[in-house]
């Protein structure tokens, strides 16, 4: 059976090279129930019995496997050719994400190991491949969501999905691809926009630079070069200031992106070129307000968990990723809290392209940082990889390392939280950090709360006094006993609502927050009452409604799990999009 290549788009739209080859599609596959595949020699030359469609996880129907049980060890195998066009070039093998611990062999030689289910890794396979014949690629993935040392987000630790825990993802769930590069090549870009001075600061790291290397940095708008900066000598790390004529800012809902081309030359000849882009955008905190390019912005966020009925963690297509953002924007939301998952790079690309702002949240659930040193090590290593992967996206306006790390949970360790805050701030001082969304704050730039009260009157009373006074002692808090005093940060109710609404679904596992509304009118009255309370409070700078879509048994989305709207988008938009008190004056 033959298939079109699934997810054929370039997996890294913010770091593209022209010479690349997708390895998505049909692979051989096996479930290693006894974890004995290594001893049996499955690393090479063994025909695996099943077939799977990469990049979809084996729990998904799109993979062709649809086995939702615990799959603690799985194997993948396929053959590939690179062709004569690879002669004289280095061949890089890339994985977008493999959950959780991956080992990789090419032609029987181990070429990579990686720990972390949400971040990319790559390896140079030039010296182990045959450029004229078929090559064998084998991947072994070990995934134990119940280990307490690996971040697993909302992947269920029980056999079946229940409550707010859903179908697991094991193994390869993002694209796999080959890329041709030179021995001297561009390794990374670090883009720091400065809208106040109309310029961009760019750091370019080079792998294996030589004394004959130079750099051309080109900024393009509508196909026309507007800036060309040449560095006559390229070393390991290279810095440039790009002054932009008539600078145009990137704003929520009004995005403007500059195209960026970085070329590495050797004795004047181009040996490597990376295509990227950037937005001229600044985000900062001024008292109790969040400013983007100096203007106060009310965060009209929606909770997005990034699950798909057929693909689980992986969207069926790139168009589906774009469409989810458009669905949210049609209902008046200007952004999302990307919840308990590190989303595919293409999600962030479309957020950049559409002017959609997001908080990027690490999937810390499942990682017992309070009790286990290995969990803390795993957390920090992967969080660092997230920051390096995603730091250039203008759509990201906040980092969220932890979610609901309650005082009495296995993820509450105040010294560790302080370290994560400082570590994140050192790597990226340009964005606010929300240390532990909801419970229990230790050190945070934004004070956020989770509040699922369904009674509009009591919900409103809870915030009214603080709205009038702005005093710290009047602010409702999730854990006032164990948190430090509120110090005047912006206040965001980053989880609220979650109203149970799916009148056509009555199975016993379905759930939402509060009493089910008796009618659509009752739902909309409650939704408007809760939302207006936050919009009209002059001391609140944002909200995040739970949630964009239903996820399996959790039926509190504004869309169903298969992306059908439960309400006319304009009705929700009229409630969500009106001007907030903090945006006035």
Q: Inform me whether the pLDDT recorded for 84 exceeds 90.
A: no
Task: Using the structure block, give the residue that is written with the tokens 């026309």.
Answer: 224
Give the DSSP letter string of 224-275. Answer: EEEEEEEESS--SEEEEEEEPSS----BTTB--EEEEEEEEEETTEEEEEEE
Q: What is the mean pLDDT of residues 246-270?
A: 97
Please enumerate in sequence order all residues whose Cβ is within 8 A of that of 570, keeping only pairs 6 or more positions apart, or say none.
Answer: none
- Compute the mean pLDDT over every residue in the chain, rounded to the nearest whole number: 96
Query: Tens of pLDDT along 231-251?
Result: 999 999 999 999 999 999 999
Distance CA 32, CA 74 (A): 5
C-alpha 56/C-alpha 542 separation (Å) is 35
pLDDT value at position 5? Answer: 94
pLDDT greater than 60 at residue 3: no
Tell me, what's the pLDDT at 1? 34
Range in 22-31, 80-89, 130-139, 200-209 the model is least confident about: 80-89
Per-residue pLDDT for 585 more than 70? no
- Is residue 584 very low, low, confident or very high in pLDDT (cuts 50, 70, 90)? confident
| 35 and 74 Cβ atoms separated by less than 8 Å | no
pLDDT recorded at residue 529: 98
Report the pLDDT averaged over residues 405-425. Answer: 96
Comparing CA positions, the residue from 167, 154, 165, 158 lying closest to residue 67 is 167
> pTM score, two decimals?
0.97
Task: Parse the chain into domains and list their residue ranges.
Answer: 20-181, 185-279, 447-488+490-547+554-585
DSSP string of 83-134, one letter each residue: -GGGTTSEEEEEES-EESEEEEEETTEEEEEEE-SSS-EEEE-GGG--TTS-
* Residue 55 contacts residue 176 (beta carbons within 8 Å): yes
Fold of 20-181: Jelly Rolls (2.60.120)
Query: Which candidate, 113, 104, 116, places its Cα nearest to that of 178?
Result: 104
For 185-279, which CATH class? mainly beta
């Amino acid at each position: 059976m033959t298939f079109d290549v699934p997810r054929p788009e370039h997996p890294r739209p913010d770091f593209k090279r022209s010479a690349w080859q997708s390895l998505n599609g049909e692979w051989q596959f096996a479930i290693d129930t006894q974890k004995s595949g290594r001893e049996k020699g499955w690393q090479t030359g063994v025909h695996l019995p099943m077939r799977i469609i990469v990049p979809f996880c084996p729990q998904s129907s799109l993979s062709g496997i649809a086995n939702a049980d615990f799959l603690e060890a799985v194997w993948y195998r396929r053959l590939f050719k690179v062709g004569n066009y690879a002669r004289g070039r280095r061949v890089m093998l890339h994985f977008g994400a493999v959950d959780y611990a991956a080992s990789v062999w090419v032609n029987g030689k181990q070429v990579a190991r990686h720990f972390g289910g949400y971040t990319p890794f790559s390896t140079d396979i030039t010296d182990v491949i045959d450029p004229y014949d078929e090559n064998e690629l084998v991947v072994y993935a070990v995934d134990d969501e119940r280990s307490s040392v690996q971040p697993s987000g909302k992947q269920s630790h029980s056999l079946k999905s229940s409550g707010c825990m859903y179908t697991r993802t094991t193994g390869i769930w993002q694209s796999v691809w080959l890329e041709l590069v030179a021995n001297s090549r561009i390794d990374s870009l670090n883009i720091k926009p400065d809208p106040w001075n109309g310029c961009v600061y760019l750091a370019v790291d080079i792998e294996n630079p030589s004394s004959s290397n130079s750099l051309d940095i080109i900024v393009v708008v509508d196909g026309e070069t507007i800036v060309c900066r040449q560095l006559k000598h390229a070393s390991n790390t290279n810095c440039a200031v790009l002054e932009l004529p008539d600078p145009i800012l990137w704003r929520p809902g009004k995005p403007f992106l500059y195209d960026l081309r970085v070329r590495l030359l050797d004795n004047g000849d181009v040996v490597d070129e990376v295509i990227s882009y950037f937005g001229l955008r600044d985000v900062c905190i001024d008292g109790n307000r969040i400013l983007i390019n100096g203007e106060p912005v009310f965060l009209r966020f929606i909770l997005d968990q990034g699950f798909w009925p057929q693909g689980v963690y992986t969207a069926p297509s790139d168009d589906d990723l774009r469409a989810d953002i458009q669905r949210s924007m049609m209902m008046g939301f200007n952004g999302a809290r990307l919840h308990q998952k590190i989303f595919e790079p293409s999600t962030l690309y479309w957020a950049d392209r559409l002017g959609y702002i997001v908080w990027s949240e690490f999937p810390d659930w499942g990682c017992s940082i309070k009790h286990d040193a290995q969990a803390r090590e795993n957390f920090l290593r992967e969080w660092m990889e997230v920051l390096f992967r995603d730091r250039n996206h203008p759509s990201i306006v906040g980092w969220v390392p932890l979610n609901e790390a309650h005082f009495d949970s296995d993820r509450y360790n105040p010294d560790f939280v302080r370290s994560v805050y400082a570590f994140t701030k050192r790597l990226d001082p340009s964005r606010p950090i929300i240390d532990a969304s909801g419970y229990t704050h230790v050190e945070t730039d934004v004070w956020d709360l989770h509040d699922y009260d369904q009674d509009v009157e009591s919900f409103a009373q809870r915030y009214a006094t603080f709205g009038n006074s702005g005093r710290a002692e009047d602010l409702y808090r999730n854990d006032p006993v164990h948190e430090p005093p509120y110090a005047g940060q912006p206040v965001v109710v980053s989880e609220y609502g979650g109203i149970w609404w799916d009148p056509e679904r009555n199975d016993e596992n379905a759930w939402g927050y509060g009493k089910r509304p008796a009618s659509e009118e009752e739902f909309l009255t409650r939704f408007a009452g809760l939302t207006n309370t936050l919009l009209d409070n002059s001391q609140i700078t944002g909200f995040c409604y739970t949630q964009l879509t239903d996820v399996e048994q959790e039926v509190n989305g504004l869309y169903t799990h298969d992306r059908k709207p439960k309400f006319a988008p304009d009705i929700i938009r009229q409630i969500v999009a009106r001007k907030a008190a903090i945006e006035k004056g």
